[in-house]
A and B are shown apart, each in its own frame.
Chain A
Amino acid sequence: MALLEVNDIHTFYGNIHALKGVSFEVDNAEIIALIGSNGAGKTTTLRTISGLMAPRGGNIVYDGREISSTRADLLVARGISMVPEGRGVFAKLTVEENLDMGAYVRTDDDVSEDLDSAFEMFPRLQERRKQFAGTLSGGEQQMLAIARALMSRPRLLLLDEPSMGLAPVLVDVVFEAIQRIASEGVTILLVEQNAHMALQIANRGYVLQSGEVAISDTAANLQQNEVVQKTYLGID
């Protein structure tokens, strides 16, 4: 059974119909890429799943239970963690305090272990653990945002544009990290404009166009798809 099922959701900004019946599913331990151009509804889809926005129609089933009207903060405790667009690190807290904040919903005593494994994954963060997050570079902030999202021990990780504004070298670092996280059994839903990178690491992908799913296929097939190549990969 799929870990996440999105069935025909409709989401609005006031009167603007942003998602016009989006449906897809994410299986356990998969990496799924949502690609599409600006305004296609990628971020809105993530915000709807994570509970920051409520859909007006359709439903979302996570782990066998309907969650479309569950509050965002409760979903974190249920294992859905999001790395927001533009990273959203707490600039005035230190790296370590940011990570602590990520473990806010945890009540067990193993938080310090996870802190260690976060530093193991991103050694750069360990060097800067006492530094204010606002003083980190863009790439380091992205690493911090991902590490922080992992601190709640999610089953499903939602990533919104992790490559945005990063130097190509850092994009590689971040995408390697995403693959490692997936290899440890965390399911990943990745929203990206950088379709090229996203499809390289994804199992399957969906192409969003003006609030609807236009194409869905395996990542390998999407890379060969003529429309995708022309529109999103820049290959003529």
Chain B
Amino acid sequence: MNILASEASRRVLRLGLLSGSFILFAGVIGMIAAFHEREVVNDFISLGQALLLATPFVTSYVATTRMTEAGEDPRVALAGGLAIGLLSALPTVILLLFNSDEYRYLLDASLKLIPFVAASYLAWKSHAQGNEMRQAAATWLISALLIGIVTFGFALIFEVKGDLRGVLVHVDRDWVEVVTFDHRNELWTGIGFLLAASAGAGLAGVIMRIMPDIPRRALLYGLGVTLLVGAFGETVRLILQENLDRDTLREIFRRDTLRQNSAAVLFIVSTAAGFLWAMFGGRAQSQFAALDNSSRHKIRNLGMLVFAALLLALPWLIGRTLSDVAVTIGIFVLMGLGLNIAIGLAGLLDLGYVTNYAVGAYILAVLTSIGPLGLFKGSFTFWMVIPIALLAAMCAGFLFAVPVLRMRGDYLAIATLGFGEIIGKLALSDWLKPLIGGAQGVQNIPKPFLFATELKNPEQLYYIVLVASLVTLFVSIRLNNSRTGRQWMAIREDEDVATAMGIDTARAKLLAFTLSAATGGVAGAIFAAKVGTVFPNSFTVFISINVLSLIIVGGIASNPGIVLGAVVLIGMPELLREFSEFRFLMYGALLILMMINRPQGLIPSKLVMHEVQAGVKTKVSTGD
């Protein structure tokens, strides 16, 4: 009783049950079984099993961090890790029992018992808090009744559906097979395996945490690299395919999964690399810092040069499929940089950014299409239309900005959201159907030509996106350091005070919306040329939301952050296609986790970083 009361054990209990509920939830929604399809290492571990083990591992790692900070004995930490491992498996074990034919009665029994146990607990708690006996009794009665009704409902459903599977459709043979480590027919052996594996993972998490710093970092690095390469096996294979011959490739991969040997080699090599970095990385960094300015500049420039070469060579390194993903990422980088002018620099929350994207795409479509809707049947080329698309998007941005100039914050966001919706409906409307084809859209958009070469592959289109992004990057850096940039900064901080400084806020906001729209138009035009057809349902509010999310995840007002944000939020879902519907769940979970743990974004801008570190509130101005 004493142990249970301590702070550490309560935390272990809470974290363990949290991790257990997560595993149970992942199983019930079918995630574990779906991930089992993807092998991380051939015939050794699947992604589903990796998830099963990684959860207690990470949980006990985190718990141990807290415990060592609190100065607990390592033995206590080990016991905690063991407990977390077992607790992580517990909910799944219970569900396995409920699901089996022999122990089904446990489900019925617990459904009957739950109201009494829960009500008694609540009544006891109410009494312990100093309430009178009469009140505790009333609590008991009411909660027993309410919880009873709910559990009775569940029991009724299970009765009607026959068994658990009728309700929880994903609690099926596949799930049982994964969680019992392929012992579907021997329930208790399977449960034993599950408990042992989970407990082992929990202990491993503790051991990893209390290990000395250097081997710990090396091992974590090795594990991380191996897991990532394994999980993204298909992508990695696509990249290697460009650069290796078939036989070598076959030795490393069996279809899309790493062979055991190659995984072992990868693990050893990356751990060794991690070890070397952990040993000497700090020294290298301090040596770099000790260098004088000019040689530091030289090294930096060299790094930039390598990076630039890499960017230029990228399509030939990664092949067609991934180049296609790179073009999509590039289109979103363009939009991210554009929207950042409005949101990051001027602080105007624009949720209708898709408008500009659609305008650019449709302008290119009608002007260049050689289909029935094409206005000029090919006499306009891609290069002639790009500036037109840019100007048209700027006009759209300007027109939409005029009515919302007086709005601020939330109101502005809602109004712009409305514009985004209007554009979608307009594209679908009968009124514009003769011009842009309604739901059928515009087809037969030719690919761009450069000196009589048709740029029809993603490898070639990549360079258009690259150049456009670099130009945008340059412009937005210049803008940020200009007088106009300072105007926006003042408006973002406080519009009234900006006016009091003599800034024409209406003009500055119009300019922000208009410039921000420009890159959206270019992105839309490139998108239309890439896909070859333009449909209204490509232009939903989700485009706006995606662009906004990548800015926020990457780091608001931070250019490198926006590029990284696009790679993570746009690239990942493309690469994770095999995870089917779960990728949106993971995407959402990632966003929530990011906002809780790293609200400043992956690569925060200097301003925001300062804000988070110093805890400066956005509005320090009023009162105090």
CA–CA, A167 to B487, complex, Å?
Answer: 33
Task: Verify B493–A91 contact, CB threshold 8 A.
Answer: yes
In the assembled complex, the Cα of A149 lies from the Cα of B483 at a distance in Å of 18
Q: Is the CB of A52 within 8 A of B620?
A: no
In angstroms, Cα B614 to Cα A135, docked, is: 8
Interface residue range, chain A: 35 or more
Interface code A33-52, partner B: CB below 8 Å = 1, 0 otherwise?
00000000000000000111
- Do the beta carbons of B499 and A52 come within 8 Å of each other? yes
Please report the C-alpha to C-alpha distance between residue A165 and residue B621 in the assembled complex, in whole angstroms. 12
**B611 / chain A contacts, CB cutoff of 8 Å:** 92
In the complex, which of the residues A72, A81, A93 contacts B493, with contact meaning CB atoms closer than 8 Å?
A93
Q: Are B620 and A141 in contact (CB under 8 A)?
A: yes
Complex contact A132–B610 (CB within 8 A): yes
B503 contacts across to A, CB distance below 8 A: 73, 104
| Inter-subunit contact B621/A86 (CB<8 Å) | yes
Question: A134 contacts the other chain (Cβ, under 8 Å)?
Answer: yes
Interface 0/1 of A87-116, CB less than 8 Å to B: 111111100000011101100000000000
Residues of A within 8 A of B487 (CB): 104
**Cα A86 to Cα B624 with chains together (Å):** 8
Residue of A nearest to B502 (CB): A76
Q: Mark B111-129, 1 if CB is under 8 A from A, else 0.
A: 0000000000000000000
B273 within 8 A of A: no
Q: Tell me whether B500 and A135 are in contact (CB under 8 A).
A: no
- A73 in contact with B496 (CB, 8 Å): no
The answer for the CA separation of A81 and B501 in the assembled complex, in Å, is 8
- Check B489 against A90 for contact (C-beta < 8 Å): yes
List, in ascending order, chain B residues with CB within 8 A of A86's CB.
621-623
Question: Is A187's beta carbon under 8 Å from chain B?
Answer: no
Minimum distance in angstroms from A189 CB to a CB of chain B: 14
**Across the interface, do A81 and B500 meet the contact criterion of CB distance under 8 Å?**
yes
A91 touches B616 (CB 8 A): yes
In the complex, residue of chain B having the shortest beta-carbon distance to the beta carbon of A134? B616
Q: A164 at interface (Cβ–Cβ under 8 A)?
A: yes
Given contacts A86-B622, A132-B614, A138-B624, contact A152 B493 (CB under 8 A): no
Assuming the contacts A134-B620, A152-B501, A165-B624, asked whether A90 and B496 have C-beta atoms less than 8 A apart, the reply is: no
Complex formed: what's the CA distance from A148 to B502 in Å?
12
Minimum CB–CB distance for A165 against chain B, Å: 6
Residue from B486, B502, B621 within 8 A of A73 (CB atoms): B502
| A165→B614 contact, CB < 8 A | no
Contacting residue for B501 out of A87, A92, A102, A138, CB 8 A = A102
Chain B residues contacting A104 (CB-CB under 8 Å) are 483, 486-487, 490, 501-503
Assess whether A88 is in contact with B610, with CB atoms less than 8 Å apart. Answer: no
**What 0/1 readout, one digit per residue, does chain B (493-536) give for beta carbons within 8 Å of chain A?**
11011011111110000000000000000000000000000000
- Complex alpha-carbon distance, A87 and B624, angstroms: 10
B185 at the interface (CB under 8 A from A): no
Provided the pairs A86-B621, A88-B494, A101-B486 are in contact, do residues A72 and B499 lie with their beta carbons within 8 angstroms?
Answer: yes
Please name all residues of chain B whose beta carbon is closer than 8 Å to the beta carbon of A52 when the two chains form the complex: 496, 499-500
Question: Does B286 count as interface, using CB distance less than 8 angstroms?
Answer: no
At the interface, yes or no: A177 with Cβ under 8 Å from chain B? no
A84, B501: Cβ atoms closer than 8 Å = no
Q: In the complex, what residue of chain B is closest to A149 when comparing beta carbons?
A: B500
- Is B618 an interface residue, CB under 8 A from the partner? yes
Q: Does B426 contact A (CB under 8 A)?
A: no
User: What are the interface flags for A184-203 relative to B under an 8 Å C-beta threshold, 1 for contact and 0 otherwise?
Assistant: 00000000000000000000
B614:A134 contact, CB within 8 angstroms: yes
Q: Which residues of B contact A51 (CB under 8 A)?
A: 499
Closest Cβ–Cβ distance, residue A75 to chain B (whole Å): 8
Q: Which residues of B contact A82 (CB under 8 A)?
A: 500
Contacts of A88 in B (CB 8 A): 494, 496-497, 500, 621
In-complex Cβ contact of B494 among A73, A74, A90, A135 (8 A): A90
**Is B168 at the interface (CB under 8 A from chain A)?**
no
State in angstroms the CA–CA spacing of A62 and B102 once bound together: 93
When chains A and B are docked, how far (Å) is the Cα of A135 from the Cα of B502? 25
CA–CA, A194 and B502, complex, Å: 29
Pairwise interchain contact B623-A76, C-beta atoms closer than 8 A: no
Given the complex, which residues of A lie within 8 Å of B502, measured CB to CB? 73-74, 76-77, 104-105, 152
Closest-CB distance, B508 to chain A (whole angstroms):
10
A72 to B494: give the CA distance in the assembly, Å. 15
Known pairs A73-B499, A74-B504, A84-B496. 18 more at Cβ < 8 A? A72-B500, A73-B502, A74-B502, A76-B500, A76-B501, A76-B502, A84-B621, A86-B622, A89-B621, A90-B489, A92-B493, A132-B610, A133-B620, A135-B614, A138-B624, A141-B621, A149-B500, A152-B502
Q: 7 nearest interchain CB pairs?
A: A76-B502, A105-B502, A134-B616, A88-B497, A91-B620, A86-B622, A134-B620
Q: Which residues of A come within 8 Å of B, CB atoms? A: 50-52, 71-74, 76-77, 81-82, 84, 86-93, 100-102, 104-105, 132-135, 138, 141, 148-149, 152, 164-165
15 A-B pairs within 8 Å (CB atoms) are namely A51-B499, A52-B496, A71-B504, A72-B500, A73-B505, A76-B501, A88-B496, A91-B616, A91-B619, A101-B490, A104-B502, A104-B503, A132-B610, A132-B614, A164-B623
